[in-house]
Structure 1
């Protein structure tokens, strides 16, 4: 069942001071407190965890020595987490406010460290996560559910005693002892980069140690060790500190701006103006498969291509570069079938049924960065690859490539350099050998990489990583006049890298990797290049497949590959392998899922 996103109760709590009716007097001695839907409360004190009705009646309790209470609403109540301090384990608890029950769910597996801080996160898919933090900075992110899964490990500062997550902005906040407050990305995909919210001198203006945290709409609140209430408003990528309010506070509620003072739990009057709103949510599609990880750690996997079997499409292959090793070949289930150790290959593309006189070939071309050359591979009818030639170029730092099947059935290859230069080659064959002849050059103002040629329209799309998407003619006898199709902006984020073309029954679509916000933009592959939307690739918790992020290269086909890929397939490089952490790999997505998410015409043309 899909969980609902958190309803905001802060609007009421921030509008007026608390009254005795808002927080029952029976809860005044609670060490930790969380508001529940319908006016009920979850409290943690020396007797354990208690479910308390709006009128102060206790409805259920769990005996434990607990700390670090947090929760998210769910149908009929909430899902809560609490640390069992004796066992050093995180306990998920199902709260049923209608039945008045607390049900302890299986504890998460042993982390291998003492848990100093814990907090919950509900992602854009409605999946619940827990962050667990050790005193020495070790941290883990777990996916909660009937079978909890370790999503990733991350390194946080030492001395973290409190954390909270802003679900709307996917931001994890932690307070570091003697240093201040940091903001991290809560999404499992992507790097765990941090930005400061507020720091002590000489790095900032904080004067006291920050304790408990509470999320505000577009901002954050905290109490310091002097009992003052601190707050910060999100302003774009930075934070604005608001005036400090001395309250004599000892604790903050986990999901609302309630502070505990000598008079009990109260809601201080705070004329809060919400900060920067979160970006609009994009539709999420789930991967149907993932390949085995590449055999090298770090930034290794880069660019895929799809070869369609001539008689049995279910036996088609996915090619993928490992830029520390060579070229990998996978079946449609993601199993590796071949490794060609051809060195540092960056991009790869292919075309089938290429004609050289009476000879026919399926050919893949890849850029080899050590030799600044193109490597040409032949593909036999079983999907087996063999290196056929190494063709030099005039580039000094070769990077991306894409292929074009000419109207005559030949093969052209476009290769680019980090300095913006493009070289357009015609692949030749004479006396049983492949060669390459330079037929055209052009350049972009800054670094390119991804490109794709549309064999049907004769258009060539090229990405300039920091500026956007361009189009020109793919034909060697035409001038390479570049026209901007889509600049970097609200929907397309730098870096602009991988791209592929899907040929539908009546129209074709261009899919572009918007690396800066881990999404994929879809637009018409013909003028006026109307944008059809964007989507993200999320996590399939049931299959244990993580999402995709920081995608370098991608490829898409409309060929009927059978099964869930009856209307085609998108393959993307995943910059961060999660659940568990590991070397990078490639993810496969059914085109039918993308078409449904963006309401595209689902017809295909072979």
Structure 2
């Protein structure tokens, strides 16, 4: 599967950006206290004369140089001979290199357009044009995601920013972002998927570059009195394991390391500071900041705007043995085949899906999805909405088919209704048409999650929980076309649950406690076994624990859990000892214009054959952030074959 989702090219960051080896070591290191870094006695690498007067530069893997001057971007040999030139006025540029080409992005000072230039076979050529921006652009930077897709961030002077996907014949808008005004520089650390932007007169901020994440920002380093900077972050430069910030007023460069936390969010620690008094001839008007790195040293280059040349500062490497390697789990990124039409309500609306299988032609099956602001939606396997039942604020939904009642049989869906704290029961006919049939009052004050249980002895039961941790067990009966409910028992979980699923055959109830993990209980009301915590929130499972579903395969059964805290999906064996089998994420399907999924609330899975491409089953997940472009929430469909192949499941 990985060969299908990755480009045939292997891409590298421009010199000075985080490497896998450096990050793996960094995570294992304790945070260091701030200290001034003394210049090394080693010979400072010098820039060729033809680079000294440039506005910006990069040394390429081929040995050539990219040099930006006032009139053009030039490709030069190691001896300074010009191989190619592209006429443009710009202040700086960003680059990614592959085995046989490079991609450069810059802002044309005349047109205020983002320009992408391809470097290949000794030539410079226009790679792709973006639509005209709505405002004056100030900065741009490239980002290669874990799916090996190329993205571009463009930032306007007023702070309006956009993320574009470039790995297609035509650029596609991924999302809009609101960033600080007057951002002069941006950098992306591809490995940690962190977008850094400088608010010039205040400080440096970090955002998740991964488009499925929220737009929340983290402070990296700020000006006084909120941080150590004298005035703000004048210029920035990515280095292995962190970021360097030039404080023009304070006359120093602060070097920060990114410390990854268990929550999968990073913090930054100042691990070094290069000060003006340590160096003779420190530039009075320092502009751009660049760097080159070796195993033992980092050389920073400051653009001296007054002398129109570069000033070199050599330091010992702050991270020891950056070339050492440690194992970092690689999470496969899988591709959705389909997405549903968007919710008709914006914001946090979609929540939980369920699957109804057509009794004759599985290709005519239906997906039920809740809308917390409107009601129940029904979709076909192509994602087209077939029904909308405006029955109020529904949260979770579950389905059971061919239920044998005293005088009939039927297919039923049940959902929690947050307006009246009831269980809403829906009948589903042979064509997949859904209709509300009844409501059962639960007496709860904050009803939340639910799941159905079809005992081997027949009939139908339901588990329902609330935000205070109360779990109720109900027996559902139907007579003369009317549904009624009888509460069989109740029990308590310490903190908020929501997702739950029942293994009907083995009478096992799995309940997700959002902050702690997955509990196992006996679904049979006659037993009184204590709950067992079978999957803890740890290095695999990140809070919140949300949707739960069971896949019953020919050889094995699996528990699927939405690990909302790191936007992944975890697979456990569904039998004791409930071993962890792996995790995956859902990424872009660029060919069909489908974005990935994140912050998933509810999910559902089935091992039934639904036809191509779902012969081995289907996974449906709620997507918390609709991108490509921004829109209302929806659900994504993924074939089980991808999951089984990626995680080597039976």
Q: TM-score range by the shorter chain?
A: over 0.9
**Runs of 5+ in structure 2 lacking a partner?**
1-6, 23-38, 261-265, 277-281, 294-298
Structure 1 residue 124: deviation in Å?
0.5
CA deviation map 1:241-280 (0-9, x unaligned)? 2223324343223887641345636462242217999963
Rounded Cα–Cα distance in structure 2 between residues aligned with 1:302 and 1:147 = 32
Q: Which residue of 1 aligns with 2:128?
A: 106
Rounded Cα–Cα distance in structure 2 between residues aligned with 1:327 and 1:179 = 47
Structure 1 residue 9: deviation in Å?
4.6
Rounded Cα–Cα distance in structure 2 between residues aligned with 1:155 and 1:422 = 41
Aligned partner of 1:47 among 64, 71, 74: 71
* Closer, same or farther: CA 5–562 of 1 in aligned 2, 3 Å: same
Rounded Cα–Cα distance in structure 2 between residues aligned with 1:113 and 1:3 = 34
CA contact (8 A) 1:497 1:515 kept: yes
Structure 1 residue 49: deviation in Å?
0.6
Q: Which residue of 2 aligns with 1:37?
A: 61
Aligned partner of 1:115 among 122, 130, 137: 137
* Closer, same or farther: CA 559–445 of 1 in aligned 2, 3 Å: same
CA contact (8 A) 1:121 1:165 kept: yes
CA deviation map 1:6-50 (0-9, x unaligned)? 268549999965433xx3221111101123222222121112111
Q: Report the number of matched residues.
A: 597
Rounded Cα–Cα distance in structure 1 between residues aligned with 2:66 and 2:43 = 20
CA contact (8 A) 1:71 1:255 kept: no
* Closer, same or farther: CA 147–518 of 1 in aligned 2, 3 Å: same
Q: Which residue of 2 aligns with 1:488?
A: 537
Rounded Cα–Cα distance in structure 1 between residues aligned with 2:233 and 2:50 = 28
CA contact (8 A) 2:15 2:58 kept: no
> Given the alignment of the two structures, is residue 551 of structure 1 paired with residue 600 of structure 2, yes or no?
yes
Rounded Cα–Cα distance in structure 2 between residues aligned with 1:315 and 1:77 = 47
> Given the alignment of the two structures, is residue 314 of structure 1 paired with residue 363 of structure 2, yes or no?
yes
Rounded Cα–Cα distance in structure 2 between residues aligned with 1:150 and 1:279 = 31
Aligned-pair Cα RMSD in Å: 2.1
Rounded Cα–Cα distance in structure 1 between residues aligned with 2:59 and 2:326 = 23
**Worse-matched range after superposition: 71-80 or 446-455:** 71-80
Task: Find the residue that maps to 1:595 and give its secondary structure.
Answer: helix
> Given the alignment of the two structures, is residue 579 of structure 1 paired with residue 628 of structure 2, yes or no?
yes
Task: Find the residue that maps to 1:314 and give its secondary structure.
Answer: helix
Length-normalised TM-score, structure 2: 0.88
> Given the alignment of the two structures, is residue 213 of structure 1 paired with residue 253 of structure 2, yes or no?
no
* Closer, same or farther: CA 214–52 of 1 in aligned 2, 3 Å: same
CA contact (8 A) 2:14 2:97 kept: no
Rounded Cα–Cα distance in structure 1 between residues aligned with 2:552 and 2:91 = 56
The aligned runs of 1:421-440 (5 Å cut-off) are 421-440=470-489
Rounded Cα–Cα distance in structure 2 between residues aligned with 1:40 and 1:454 = 62
* Closer, same or farther: CA 184–138 of 1 in aligned 2, 3 Å: same
Rounded Cα–Cα distance in structure 2 between residues aligned with 1:432 and 1:586 = 32
Rounded Cα–Cα distance in structure 1 between residues aligned with 2:340 and 2:364 = 15
CA deviation map 1:534-587 (0-9, x unaligned)? 000011112110000000000000000000101000000000000010100000
Q: Which residue of 1 aligns with 2:35?
A: none
Rounded Cα–Cα distance in structure 1 between residues aligned with 2:160 and 2:531 = 49
Q: Which residue of 1 aligns with 2:546?
A: 497
Rounded Cα–Cα distance in structure 2 between residues aligned with 1:61 and 1:506 = 61
**Runs of 5+ in structure 1 lacking a partner?**
602-606
Q: Which residue of 2 aligns with 1:368?
A: 417
The aligned runs of 1:197-346 (5 Å cut-off) are 197-226=220-249, 228-236=252-260, 237-241=266-270, 242-246=272-276, 247-248=282-283, 249-253=286-290, 258-259=300-301, 260-261=303-304, 264=310, 266=312, 268-273=314-319, 280-346=329-395
> Given the alignment of the two structures, is residue 441 of structure 1 paired with residue 490 of structure 2, yes or no?
yes
CA contact (8 A) 1:345 1:368 kept: yes
Rounded Cα–Cα distance in structure 2 between residues aligned with 1:137 and 1:328 = 37
* Closer, same or farther: CA 255–172 of 1 in aligned 2, 3 Å: farther
CA deviation map 1:152-208 (0-9, x unaligned)? 001101121111011111001011022100111110002111111111122212113
Rounded Cα–Cα distance in structure 2 between residues aligned with 1:541 and 1:78 = 21
Aligned partner of 2:91 among 63, 67, 71: 67
Task: Find the residue that maps to 1:461 and give its secondary structure.
Answer: strand
Rounded Cα–Cα distance in structure 1 between residues aligned with 2:547 and 2:595 = 20
Q: Which residue of 2 aligns with 1:537?
A: 586
Task: Find the residue that maps to 2:521 and give its secondary structure.
Answer: strand
